[in-house]
Amino acid sequence: MALSMCLFFYVKNGIIYYGDKSVSINKPLFDKIYKKCSSIIDQSVDSNIIKKRKRLDDNYVALCKSADHEFQAFYSIVHELRLYDYVKKLGIGINAANDNKAGPDFVTDLGYIECVNATKGELGTPERLCLENRLKQSMNRYVSALPRLSSAILDKKRAYKGYLQKCQIDESKPRIIAISTSVFSNEFHSQLNLELILKILYGIGCRTMRFNLAANSFVEENGVESHAYEESAVKPPRNVDLPLSYFYNEEFKDISGVIVNNNAISEDLEKDYFCLLLNPFANVPIDKTRLPGIKYFELDNVDNNYATFRWYNE
């Protein structure tokens, strides 16, 4: 993402007022993002979406004051508003929750949706320094995002567990995590983030669809490529074991699916950047009859030789 100079400003009632203090972010880009999110709020009749105005304004000001083009509080509110707008335009019923109360961000016809933004971690930590060094590599640098993506998903799995234990949500409704990978999609091709999340949730790569039970490996449907099934990875810099294949874990049965928004912050949310990964072992499955406009991925069939996964609504 290119950087440029931006003037100091404040926001009042959705209007940007500029002063004379310089900071280093891409002013035209973030002005455009802010105005689009502001428009989503203006067009909504959902009182809890309207209440997000102050959060959007405050975090946009903080973004420019910090000169941090990856300011996560701003990315977070943008993710929520973009997801709300996209789901609503699909014709799926969606209501925002009160930000001041515990619980998922949205209640929808698909189930609850809890949003999370993948981050690069805290500045100055060994993990952040290691990640930044790996992002500078010329080969396979995208793999450095895997621990951060898995951590974001685990955080929201734990959040849902807390909601259930405290009876803050209806246990009969599907529970969905919606992860935005924008901070890494800014760095490399967005499809690579999806590939990592498929590995995290199912233990497979993006183009790997079938698992040969006898050979203990995944193969593409055309049979040309094969990939070893991965149950764990190594989390740098301390080389901590990082389990994969979350959907095969008993603790993940409370999660019905994961929405992946893998657009960069500069890109609008559209079909190519919105997909739903279904948990084949969920206690409360998502109703697939409600997914006509959504690209989704699921376990299609299991026989003596193969477990077959397929994409739908591509």
- pLDDT, tens digit (0-9, with 9 covering 90-100), for 198-216: 989 998 853 333 444 554 4
pLDDT value, residue 219: 41
Mean pLDDT of 178-197: 90
Q: What is the DSSP letter of 109?
A: S
Q: Is the dihedral of CA 61, 66, 71, 76 positive or negative?
A: negative
Q: How far is CA 300 from the centre of its chain?
A: 24
Q: Which contiguous run of DSSP H or E holds residue 72? A: helix 72-89
Which of 27-31, 130-134, 205-209, 292-296 is least confident? 205-209
| Residue 302: pLDDT over 50 | yes
Residue appearing with tokens 């946009």? 60
Mean pLDDT of 74-93: 97
Mean pLDDT of 268-280: 94
Q: Which residues contact 79 (CB under 8 A, 6 or more apart)?
A: 115, 117, 178, 180, 182, 261
State pLDDT tens for residues 115-149.
999 988 887 787 788 788 888 877 778 888 888 89
| Residue 21: pLDDT over 50 | no
Do 269 and 224 contact (CB within 8 A), yes or no? Answer: no
Binned at pLDDT 50, 70 and 90, residue 307 comes out as: confident
Q: What percent of the chain has pLDDT over 70?
A: 80
Half-sphere exposure of 214 (CA within 13 A, CB side): 3
95: tokens are: 């209501």
| Residue 299: pLDDT over 80 | yes
Q: How far is CA 69 from CA 29, 123, 293, in A?
A: 10, 14, 32
pLDDT value, residue 40: 98
State pLDDT tens for residues 214-258.
544 434 343 323 333 344 444 444 445 567 789 999 999 999 999
Do 96 and 56 contact (CB within 8 A), yes or no? Answer: no
Q: How far apart (Å, rounded) are the C-alpha atoms in residues 301 and 151?
A: 29
Q: How far apart (Å, rounded) are the C-alpha atoms in residues 308 and 296?
A: 14
pLDDT value, residue 233: 43
What are 218's strand-pairing partners?
A: 211, 227
Nearest to 282 by CA among 306, 241, 248, 233: 248
Q: Which amino acid is at 254?
A: D
Question: What does the CA dihedral 201, 273, 218, 247 come to, rounded to 10 degrees?
Answer: 20
